[in-house]
C-alpha cells in the first residue's frame, strides 16, 4: 500500500509547478482529480516541447499529468461551482497556482474553502508571493530565473547571463509545495487541523541558490565571479569544470591542483602549491588544464584519475547514458497509456521499502471523468 492511498487531491493548477506537485502526490498513492476549464483545459495541453503532440495533447502534458483524472468545470458558472464545492468537501488536499486574487474572485480562496472543509490542506503557488511590487508579474520560469540572479551563475565570464535549459523554478517550487503539504498532513493526523501551504517560484529559486547566496551575504556582498575558462561554479576554484579531451570530454570536481598535476603528468600545475591560488589563479590553472587534457582520450585520463579516487567523470549524452548498464539498473523509464496514446517517460525517483513507485495510468482527456465523478460524489444533487 502506498503511503497516500485513500487521500483525495484536487488539482486546480496548470502548466508545470502545481501539476508537478500533484503528480508527486499521485505517485505516492493519492487519488488526484484535475479540475479544468471546459473546452480549453489546462493550457499545458498545448504547450509542446520540440513540437511533440500525441492524441490531441502535448507529450509534456501527458507526462506531468499521468495518473490523474479530469473533471471539466466552469468555475464562473454557479452550477459547476456548486459541484466543485461538493468535491472540495470530500477532499484532503487542494492545489492551485493562479495569480494572486484569482481564487478569491472565484470564492475558492483558503478562508472560504476551509469553511467547506476545515480539514483540507490547501496548497497555493504564486510567482513572487502575494505581497510586494512583483505580485502581479507573470510567474514564468525563465522570467523568475532572470529576476532571481540565477542566470549570472551560468556560462563563462565573458558570456551574457545564461539560464538553465530546464524549468527548474517550476519543478523546485512543486517539490517545496509537496514538502509543505506532507508536513500539514502529518500535523492533521495528530490534531485534525488542516492548513494553508504557500510557495512561490521566486522564493524556491532563491532557496535553490542558498549555498552561493550565503557566500554573498557573508563576504561583503561581492558579486559572483564566473571563470573565463570552462565555468561550472562561480564560487569554486580550479579545477572545477568540464574539459575537452582528444575524443570527448571529462568533468573534474573539487580536488588538489598539485595532486592533479602529478596524476596527469602536467608539471606546470606543480607551481600552484598554495591552495588559495586555486581560486585566485583559477583561469590560469584551467587554461593549462584545458590545453593538457586535449592530448589524450577521456578513458586514458579516467584510467589515471579514478584509481587514485580523484573526483572525475566522463560526460555522457542521453544516447550513451541510456545504453549504459548503470542507467539500466535504475529502471527509470516507464510507459504510461490511455486509449490512443502510449508515452514513455521517467518514473517517480522515490523508492519505498525498496519498491519503485510506478503506474501505467496515462493523463486523462479533458473532462474524461465527469460522468463517473458526478455519480460517485453525487455532484448533481443540490449542495447542502
Instruction: Determine which one of 27, 136, 170, 219 is catalytic.
Output: 170
Report yes or no on 169 lying in a domain. yes
pLDDT by residue (tens digit) across 177-232? 999 999 999 999 999 999 999 999 999 999 999 999 999 999 999 899 999 999 99
**Which residues are paired to 200 by β-bridges?**
126
The count of residues in the chain is: 384
Backbone phi and psi for residue 99, each to the nearest 5 degrees, phi listed first: -65, 150
Do 124 and 187 fall within a single domain?
A: yes
Do 43 and 108 fall within a single domain?
A: yes
Neighbour count for residue 304 (Cβ, 10 Å): 17
Which domain range does residue 151 map to? Answer: 8-208+331-376
What is the pLDDT averaged over residues 348-357? 97
What is the pLDDT averaged over residues 262-266? 98
Report yes or no on 364 lying in a domain. yes
pLDDT by residue (tens digit) across 57-99? 999 999 999 999 999 999 999 999 999 999 999 999 999 999 9
Do 28 and 79 fall within a single domain?
A: yes
Does 170 participate in catalysis according to the annotation? yes
- Cα of first residue to Cα of last residue in the chain, in angstroms, is 34
Query: To which H or E segment does residue 341 belong?
Result: strand 341-346
What pLDDT band is residue 248 in, cutting at 50, 70 and 90? very high
Question: CA angle 44-49-51, nearest 5°?
Answer: 105
Report yes or no on 361 lying in a domain. yes
Report yes or no on 228 lying in a domain. no
Do 27 and 123 fall within a single domain?
A: yes
The domain total for the chain is 2
Cα–Cα dist 67/359, whole Å = 7
Question: Alpha helices, DSSP H only, in the chain?
Answer: 17-27, 59-64, 78-90, 102-106, 110-116, 141-147, 168-191, 201-208, 210-218, 257-264, 277-280, 282-293, 298-305, 318-323, 325-330, 370-376
> Which residues neighbour 197 within 8 Å (Cβ) at sequence distance 6 or greater?
121, 122, 123, 124, 177, 180, 181, 183, 184
Q: Which CATH number covers residue 371?
A: 3.40.50.10540
pLDDT of residue 340: 84
Report yes or no on 323 lying in a domain. no
Percent of the chain with pLDDT over 90: 97
pLDDT by residue (tens digit) across 144-184? 999 999 999 999 999 999 999 999 999 999 999 999 999 99
Report yes or no on 233 lying in a domain. no
Report yes or no on 384 lying in a domain. no
Do 141 and 177 fall within a single domain?
A: yes
What pLDDT band is residue 329 in, cutting at 50, 70 and 90? very high
Do 269 and 337 fall within a single domain?
A: no
Do 364 and 302 fall within a single domain?
A: no
Do 60 and 132 fall within a single domain?
A: yes
Report yes or no on 174 lying in a domain. yes
Whether 352 has a pLDDT exceeding 90, the answer reads yes
Q: Do residues 232 and 238 make contact, with C-beta atoms less than 8 angstroms apart? A: no
pLDDT by residue (tens digit) across 10-33? 999 999 999 999 999 999 999 999
Whether 382 has a pLDDT exceeding 80, the answer reads no
Do 305 and 346 fall within a single domain?
A: no
Amino acid at each position: 500500500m502506498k503511503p497516500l492511498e485513500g487521500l483525495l487531491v484536487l488539482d486546480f493548477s496548470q502548466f508545470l509547478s502545481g501539476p508537478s506537485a500533484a503528480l508527486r502526490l499521485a505517485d505516492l498513492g493519492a487519488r488526484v482529480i484535475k479540475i479544468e476549464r471546459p473546452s480549453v483545459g489546462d493550457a499545458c495541453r498545448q504547450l509542446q516541447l520540440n513540437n511533440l503532440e500525441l492524441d490531441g495533447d502535448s507529450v509534456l502534458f501527458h507526462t506531468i499529468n499521468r495518473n490523474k483524472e479530469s473533471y471539466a468545470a466552469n468555475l464562473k458558472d454557479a452550477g459547476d461551482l456548486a459541484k466543485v464545492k461538493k468535491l472540495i468537501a470530500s477532499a484532503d488536499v487542494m492545489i492551485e497556482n493562479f495569480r494572486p486574487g484569482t481564487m478569491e474572485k472565484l470564492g475558492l480562496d483558503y478562508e472560504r474553502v476551509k469553511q467547506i472543509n476545515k480539514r483540507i490542506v490547501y496548497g497555493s503557488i504564486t510567482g513572487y508571493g502575494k505581497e510586494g511590487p512583483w505580485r502581479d508579474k507573470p510567474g514564468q520560469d525563465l522570467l523568475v530565473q532572470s529576476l532571481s540572479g540565477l542566470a549570472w551563475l551560468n556560462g563563462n565570464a565573458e558570456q551574457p547571463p545564461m539560464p538553465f535549459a530546464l524549468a527548474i523554478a517550476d519543478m523546485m517550487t512543486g517539490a517545496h509545495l509537496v514538502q509543505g503539504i506532507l508536513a500539514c498532513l502529518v500535523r492533521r493526523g495528530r490534531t485534525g487541523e488542516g492548513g494553508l501551504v504557500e510557495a512561490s517560484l521566486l522564493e524556491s529559486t532563491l532557496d535553490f541558490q542558498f549555498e552561493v547566496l550565503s557566500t554573498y551575504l557573508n563576504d561583503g556582498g561581492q558579486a559572483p565571479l564566473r571563470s573565463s575558462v570552462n565555468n561550472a561554479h562561480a564560487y569554486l576554484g580550479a579545477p572545477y569544470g568540464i574539459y575537452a579531451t582528444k575524443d570527448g570530454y571529462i568533468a573534474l570536481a573539487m580536488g588538489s591542483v598539485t595532486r592533479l598535476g602529478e596524476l596527469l603528468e602536467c608539471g606546470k600545475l606543480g607551481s600552484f602549491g598554495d591552495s588559495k591560488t586555486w581560486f585566485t589563479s583559477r583561469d590560469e590553472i584551467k587554461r593549462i588544464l584545458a590545453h593538457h587534457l586535449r592530448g589524450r582520450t577521456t578513458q586514458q585520463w579516467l584510467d589515471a584519475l579514478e584509481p587514485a579516487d580523484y573526483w572525475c567523470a566522463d560526460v555522457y549524452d542521453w544516447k550513451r547514458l541510456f545504453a549504459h548498464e548503470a542507467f539500466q539498473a535504475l529502471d527509470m523509464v516507464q510507459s504510461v497509456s490511455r486509449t490512443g496514446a502510449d508515452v514513455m517517460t521517467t518514473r517517480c525517483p522515490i523508492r519505498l521499502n525498496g519498491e519503485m513507485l510506478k503506474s501505467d495510468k496515462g493523463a486523462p482527456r479533458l473532462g474524461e471523468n465527469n460522468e463517473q465523478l458526478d455519480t460517485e460524489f453525487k455532484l448533481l444533487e443540490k449542495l447542502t
